[in-house]
């Protein structure tokens, strides 16, 4: 019977081909349905309810264990505790219910003793959130360190590259946002960043578009540590620079490392910026190497008369393609 069937198939191949075709179509449809199901399963909820995780960190750990790109939806509320996106994590997207509604908060500071080691947390270890993986995105939430004016107390550390933030509030006092690593890129759009001293600092290349930078005490806005071989540091474009009513002096920046690079362009500067604008960190040699620039800014603190003689330039800066290369997280 097997030989006869085989011979029949050879004499009449079309039915056999149709059966094979139908089988392949069914397999393809099954794979597509499975892929859609898997995609749906890549959403993790944080909030009340039996099917939701009780903390942001628990949801991140579940997403990392799964190993695929995932969205983590965080309900309105204050979520207290340290959050760590570890190296090697898949592309994660954290989305909140709104920056004034979803708040990730903790209160470590550099001098506090870490009970795990018996040593102070230090600046890096004081962060509320660590983003140590690549291709991270956050939107519509707040990340805050509410330790208060006690010295270094970081809200967000970004170690990974291609980290993007849309409509996120970063709140703290000293050292609010730490863009630590050279060679990495970060992009902030429509965000609000608050602090006092050096509240945007680090070695990364970062673009801030339409952000509000708000000083809640006297101090310095940016403290770049850009290495000499890196073309660009922090670029603030179309941003608004403001300050609390009691603030009397806000320098635009000072070089944490000699070749620190920061640029303000087309910004509205309404904070009380002293006429010199910039500070050399008490190291006159930094004046020969720091790369600070301003272009086409407006507002009460934008006047270039009286600026430091070592202001690098007042020309238009690099375009987005030059800064961010082929990466477009918001398109």
Catalytic residues: 198
Q: Are strands 261-265 and 163-166 parallel, antiparallel or unpaired?
A: unpaired
| Nearest-angstrom CA–CA distance, 142 and 133 | 19
CB 142 within 8 A of CB 171: yes
CB 115 within 8 A of CB 70: no
CB 184 within 8 A of CB 206: no
CA-to-CA dists, residue 246 to 101, 110, 146, 215, 249, angstroms: 27, 26, 20, 10, 10
- At 17, phi and psi to the nearest 5? -65, -40
Kindly state the DSSP code that residue 278 receives in the 8-state scheme: B
What the block records as the tokens of 11 is 């004499």
- At 245, phi and psi to the nearest 5? -55, -35
Of 196, 211, 279, the C-alpha closest to 243 is 196
């Amino acid at each position: 019977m097997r030989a006869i069937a085989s011979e029949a198939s050879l004499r009449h191949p079309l039915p056999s081909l149709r059966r094979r075709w139908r089988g392949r179509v069914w397999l393809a449809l099954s794979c597509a349905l499975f892929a859609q199901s898997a995609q749906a399963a890549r959403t993790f909820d944080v909030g009340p309810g039996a099917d939701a995780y009780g903390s942001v960190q628990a949801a991140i750990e579940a997403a990392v264990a799964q190993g695929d790109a995932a969205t983590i939806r965080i309900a309105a509320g204050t979520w207290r505790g340290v959050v760590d996106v570890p190296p090697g994590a898949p592309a994660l997207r954290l989305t909140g219910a709104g920056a004034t509604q979803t708040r990730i908060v903790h209160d470590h500071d550099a001098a506090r003793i870490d009970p795990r080691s018996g040593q102070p947390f230090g600046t890096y270890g004081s962060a509320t959130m660590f983003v140590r993986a690549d291709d991270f995105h956050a939107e519509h939430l707040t990340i805050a360190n509410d330790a208060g004016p006690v010295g270094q107390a970081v809200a967000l550390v970004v170690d990974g590259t291609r980290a993007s933030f849309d409509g996120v509030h970063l709140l703290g006092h000293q050292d609010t946002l730490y863009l630590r690593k050279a060679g990495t890129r970060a992009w902030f759009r429509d965000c609000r960043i608050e602090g006092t001293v050096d509240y945007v600092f680090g070695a990364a290349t970062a673009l801030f578009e339409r952000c509000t930078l708000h000083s809640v005490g006297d101090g310095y806005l940016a403290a770049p540590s850009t290495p000499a071989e890196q073309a660009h540091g922090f670029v603030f474009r179309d941003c608004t620079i403001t300050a609390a009513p009691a603030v009397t002096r806000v320098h635009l920046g000072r070089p944490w490392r000699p070749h620190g690079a920061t640029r303000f362009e087309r910004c509205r500067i309404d904070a009380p910026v002293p006429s010199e604008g910039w500070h050399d960190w008490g190291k006159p040699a930094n004046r020969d190497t720091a790369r600070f620039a301003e272009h086409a800014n407006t507002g009460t603190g934008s006047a270039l008369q009286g600026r430091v003689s070592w202001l690098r330039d007042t020309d238009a800066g690099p375009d987005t393609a030059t800064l961010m290369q082929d990466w477009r997280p918001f398109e």
